[in-house]
Amino acid sequence: MPGNPVRNQRKTNARTLLDYPNAIDVICEFIAGGGTLTAFCREHDLHFQTVSVWIEREKERRERYAAAVDRRKEHNREVVNRALLAMADTDISQAYDKETNTLLKVHDMPESIRRAIASIEVEELFDGRGDDRRQIGVVTKVKLWDRNKSVETLARSLKMLTDKVEHGGKVTLADLVAGDD
């Protein structure tokens, strides 16, 4: 095969996968689990165009791929709702050691707390100058993502809140028929 060796290898990899009897199952499982066809191809060193054309070539594959994309949308909605719920339900006390009441190291914090952290600022405090300079303290500021915004976004997602829109002005049937605004 003349041309780009990397591209040729990807085409060969794609043909090898696509000759596999359950190839569409493997692809659709990846897609339904939140992945994209681009990510699948990248992960398996496949030529995207070859895989995409292979899917489009047969009606059953197109339908199964479309169904997997729909399942991915549901998967992604669940992921977003779970993340919003976790932020809305964050208990900052879990970021502290219960015995010493000191902030835990980030890797010792529960994952739900780590995901709720927007930023951490650490400032070391010193006294003195030159050889007499010594550290006298550390100020650590932990900023969490906006809990109220998370609750509001989650409530809207679950259709617990809707925006009320009011329209003003009078329009008669005659105005509509005449095309007057």
pLDDT number for residue 2: 67
Q: How far apart are CA 93 and CA 139, in angstroms?
A: 18
Q: What is the DSSP letter of 36?
A: -
Q: What is the pLDDT along the chain (181 residues), one digit of tens a residue?
A: 567 887 778 777 777 888 888 999 999 999 999 999 999 999 988 888 889 999 999 999 999 999 999 999 999 888 888 888 888 888 889 999 999 989 999 999 998 899 889 999 999 999 999 999 999 998 999 998 888 888 888 788 777 777 777 767 777 777 778 875 5
Q: Which of 11, 78, 2 is nearest to 48 (CA)?
A: 11
Q: Which amino acid, 43?
A: E
pLDDT number for residue 160: 78
CA gyration radius for the chain?
28
pLDDT digits (tens, 9 = 90+) for 68-86: 999 999 998 888 888 888 8
pLDDT number for residue 180: 59
Q: Which of 122, 144, 145 is nearest to 135 (CA)?
A: 122
Token pair, residue 162, equals: 């809707």
Q: How far apart are CA 23 and CA 27, in angstroms?
A: 6
Neighbours of 173 (CB within 10 A): 7
**What are the residue ranges spanned by the domains of the chain?**
5-87, 89-145
Neighbours of 144 (CB within 10 A): 16
